[in-house]
Amino acid sequence: MASPNPQRELTLRGLVLGALITVVFTASNVYLGLRIGLTFASSIPAAVISMAVLRLMGGGTLLENNMVQSQASAAGTLSCVFATFPGLIIAGFWTHFPFWQTAGLSFAGGVLGVLFTIPLRRALVTHSSLPYPEGVAAAEILRAGADKGNQRGLQALISGGIMASIFSFCSGGLRLLADGLSLTATAGSAVFQLSAAFSPALIGAGYLVGLSGGMAMLAGCLLAWALGVPWLSAILPNPAHLPPAQFAQDIWLHKVRFVGAGAIAVASLWTLIELMPPVLRGLRSMLRNTPELSATTERDLSSSTMGWLLGGAVLLLAGFFAAFLAPVAHGFWPLVGVAVLFCVVFGFIMAAACGYMAGIVGSSSSPISGIIIIGAVLCALMILGLEALGLTPASMMADGQKLATAFTILLLSAITATIAISNDNLQDLKTGQLVGASPWKQEVALIAGCLVGAAVIPPVLNLLYQAYGFTGAMPRAGMDPSHALAAPQPALITLIAKGIFTHSLDWSMLRTGMALGVGLVILDLALRRHARALPPLGVAVGLYLPASVSLTLAAGAILGWVLQRANRNRRQQTNAENGSIGTMLASGFIVGESLSGVLLAVLSGTTGQDNAFSLAAFMPAGWATVLGTLAFGALCWAFARKTLQTP
């Protein structure tokens, strides 16, 4: 192998490799986000893949690997726009995802996110004691890889991906294995239902979320299905005489889910209030610090480059906002100008908030969903304010405020890209600081990641929508709604925006959810006095998501806790390595199922059918459920065995 060149950092082959990894992780995160409302951090898996590939190519260095993982991480994070863009279809404004509008707004918002982190870097990274857990972990992996690589971790990632892909194809493609299990029981007129999904991605996500988050989602699920649905089914009429299972689902969808939405709003607001003091301290620190810029490890993009990028991003935003409104409205330029200003000002404030949150709790745990909800409310109120001043087009509030709802979602999509990138980039810049990277080169890699990720997102969204549809918004008649992607965040954002404009929200359920959210916050504060925790936002999300998602994710969290307990008596080094193997296996499960889902979406779009490869007709009744249960159990056993296996 060639001797590493310590000066090799931002290279053409690194950019190409980063782009290829970007395609994989962006597609995976979009699929996972639309299915369960969560994404996974791609920095560590990207670093492991980069180290293995560049080692095979020869001449790879620690700094070159860092650039690859930075680029891939930025693109994977940009996929958070899954939380908003599908709302335009759910709201009935789009029938597909236009490439240039979707990609352009994602890229413009992402560039703003990168630019906003540059002035924040010295205050929140260089001159800060914030822990940045994921950034530090990525740096440690890069340092270890510079010496001996991490072939075992790469093997775990690949094997996990293969196992999950095979299971997912047999389940979602061939339909030989059931994709879940549901049991319904009645007690008088009360209906009880238990559902679990046979999903490797959910097991992997639960492992990465951890016991606290998993138990919080389980608690929310129990509140919904052991209390809310049985109680409401006992007191509400069933005029359509729906079967018990369908009646329970109808009550959850139209009643209990609104309780979850109210609880999410309160829990998100409380999380932001808790973190506001350190955010303000960080901003004051940013304004005071003016370190020397002569060192290579302190040099950012030049001010002129930043100015050009900022101007270009603003023009892109204005152009795409105008292009969105032009076919259906006139006199929209005042609205466009205020919307762009809102993106820049609110985006920078939230960039600082998210950056500080990521430094404290990590990118994966930072409550971006809560910020998006607050952003949706502020966007809608801003449009209402402009309408009161006569600065919006006349068509904005026509046809049930359809255009107003759609423009709110569009504006929020650009802001989502900004705050998601800011949330992740400071972790990457922390990694770069620890390994001695050049900030300006890393910032170039981050922008390249945004460009590639923005190009990947629209076709993936179109593929998934055409193949599966979204809950409540199917692209074609006759599709199986049980296979539709839940798209929880887009549905909630659309609900909030439409509800503000049309006054059609079920406020009784929302008020109940808000009261529940207050109670959860008080309970969490009480538990903290005894060194315990029950994250209110996790409980609220467990209420809002389907039971099959929450239960399986909680099972993954419990499995991870059991495996950690089993490793407790082993040597510390073995514990650390086994923990890394478990993380890579979990990431492989997520990537494998996600890519299998994208592949099935491609095949479905090509054939025009979502069951073209189904062999279910040749299976005896009930066998798919039995085989699915056994296969999923075997998959979990293999996960545990590989995680506990000593080197």
Q: What is the pLDDT of residues 283-327, one digit of tens each?
A: 565 455 544 444 555 677 777 888 899 999 999 999 999 999 988
Per-residue pLDDT, averaged over 427-452, amounts to 82
Query: CA 213 to CA 219: how far, in whole Å?
Result: 10
Sequence-separated (6 or more) residues with CB below 8 Å from residue 261: 492, 495, 496, 510, 513, 544
Sequence-separated (6 or more) residues with CB below 8 Å from residue 299: 293, 438, 439, 440
Q: Torsion over CA of 31, 33, 38 and 39, rounded to 10 degrees? A: 60
pLDDT band at 359 (very low <50, low <70, confident <90, very high): low
Per-residue pLDDT, averaged over 426-443, amounts to 80
Rg (CA), the chain: 24
| Other Cβ atoms closer than 10 A to 152 | 15
pLDDT higher at 195 or 613: 195
Residues 139 and 83 in one domain: yes
| Other Cβ atoms closer than 10 A to 58 | 10
For the ranges 193-197, 213-217, 229-233, 597-601, which has the lowest average pLDDT? 597-601
- Do strands 190-197 and 180-187 pair parallel, antiparallel, or not at all (unpaired)? antiparallel
Percent of the chain past pLDDT 70, that is, above it, reads 80
Strands, E assignment, 179-332: 180-187, 190-197
Cα–Cα distance list, 291 to 191, 294, 303 (Å): 64, 9, 15
pLDDT higher at 351 or 501: 501
Q: What is the pLDDT of residue 131?
A: 62
At which of 482, 514, 534 does a domain end?
Answer: 482
List residues bridging with 186 in a β-sheet: 191
In a domain, 178, yes or no: no
The answer to whether 627 and 177 have CB atoms below 8 angstroms apart is: yes
Q: What is the pLDDT of residue 103?
A: 93
Q: What is the pLDDT of residue 570?
A: 59
Pull the structure tokens for residue 520.
Answer: 């959860």
Asked if pLDDT for residue 607 goes beyond 50, the answer is yes
Q: What is the pLDDT of residue 133?
A: 57
In a domain, 611, yes or no: no
Residues 510 and 546 in one domain: yes
Query: CA 6 to CA 237: how far, in whole Å?
Result: 72
pLDDT band at 1 (very low <50, low <70, confident <90, very high): very low
Residues 488 and 412 in one domain: no
In a domain, 177, yes or no: no
Q: What is the pLDDT of residue 364?
A: 53
Residues 210 and 265 in one domain: yes
In a domain, 440, yes or no: yes
Per-residue pLDDT, averaged over 496-511, amounts to 79
Query: CA 460 to CA 269: how far, in whole Å?
Result: 32
Residue 562, domain extent: 183-271+484-590+617-644
List residues bridging with 181 in a β-sheet: 196
Residues 429 and 518 in one domain: no
Sequence-separated (6 or more) residues with CB below 8 Å from residue 607: none
Pull the structure tokens for residue 160.
Answer: 């996990």
The answer to whether 453 and 74 have CB atoms below 8 angstroms apart is: yes
Q: What is the pLDDT of residue 70?
A: 80
pLDDT, one tens digit per residue, over 418-433 is 888 877 777 777 778 8
In a domain, 503, yes or no: yes
Residues 418 and 543 in one domain: no
Q: How would you label 288-299 residue by residue, b for 16+ Cβ within 10 Å and e otherwise?
A: eeeeeeeeeebe
pLDDT, one tens digit per residue, over 99-147 is 999 999 999 999 998 888 877 776 667 666 666 656 666 676 676 666 5
Q: Which of 310, 414, 425, 411 is nearest to 75 (CA)?
A: 425
At which of 434, 464, 482 does a domain end?
Answer: 482
Residues 135 and 190 in one domain: no
In a domain, 19, yes or no: yes
Q: What is the pLDDT of residue 632?
A: 93
pLDDT, one tens digit per residue, over 523-553 is 989 988 887 878 887 788 788 778 888 898 8
Taken in order 53, 57, 62, 63, the sign of the CA dihedral is: negative
The answer for 563, left when phi > 0, alpha when psi is -120 to 50, beta otherwise, is alpha
Query: CA 19 to CA 339: how far, in whole Å?
Result: 31
State the SS3 of 18-41. HHHHHHHHHHHHHHHHHHHCCCCC
Q: Which of 82, 91, 104, 89 is nearest to 318 (CA)?
A: 104
Q: Which of 28, 21, 146 is nearest to 599 (CA)?
A: 28
Q: Which of 423, 418, 440 is nearest to 359 (CA)?
A: 423
Per-residue pLDDT, averaged over 569-573, amounts to 53
Q: What amino acid is encoded at 322 in this protein? A: A
Asked if pLDDT for residue 197 goes beyond 70, the answer is yes
Query: If you average pLDDT over every residue of the chain, what do you get?
Result: 79
pLDDT band at 3 (very low <50, low <70, confident <90, very high): very low
Per-residue pLDDT, averaged over 459-482, amounts to 82
pLDDT band at 410 (very low <50, low <70, confident <90, very high): very high
Instruction: Please give the tally of structural domains in the chain.
Output: 2
In a domain, 248, yes or no: yes
At which of 462, 482, 502 does a domain end?
Answer: 482
Residues 376 and 512 in one domain: no
Residues 403 and 262 in one domain: no
Residues 478 and 489 in one domain: no
Sequence-separated (6 or more) residues with CB below 8 Å from residue 33: 39, 79, 80, 82, 83, 489
Residues 232 and 153 in one domain: no
Q: What is the pLDDT of residue 4?
A: 43
The answer to whether 198 and 177 have CB atoms below 8 angstroms apart is: yes
Q: What amino acid is encoded at 438 in this protein? A: S
pLDDT band at 637 (very low <50, low <70, confident <90, very high): very high
- What's the angle, vertex CA 412, arms to CA 302 and CA 303, rounded to 5? 5
Question: What is the H or E stretch that residue 492 is in?
Answer: helix 488-502
List residues bridging with 470 in a β-sheet: 473, 485
pLDDT, one tens digit per residue, over 206-263 is 887 778 878 888 999 999 999 999 999 999 888 888 888 889 888 887 788 878 878 8
Residues 129 and 22 in one domain: yes
Q: How far is it between the farthest Cα atoms of the chain?
A: 76
In a domain, 601, yes or no: no
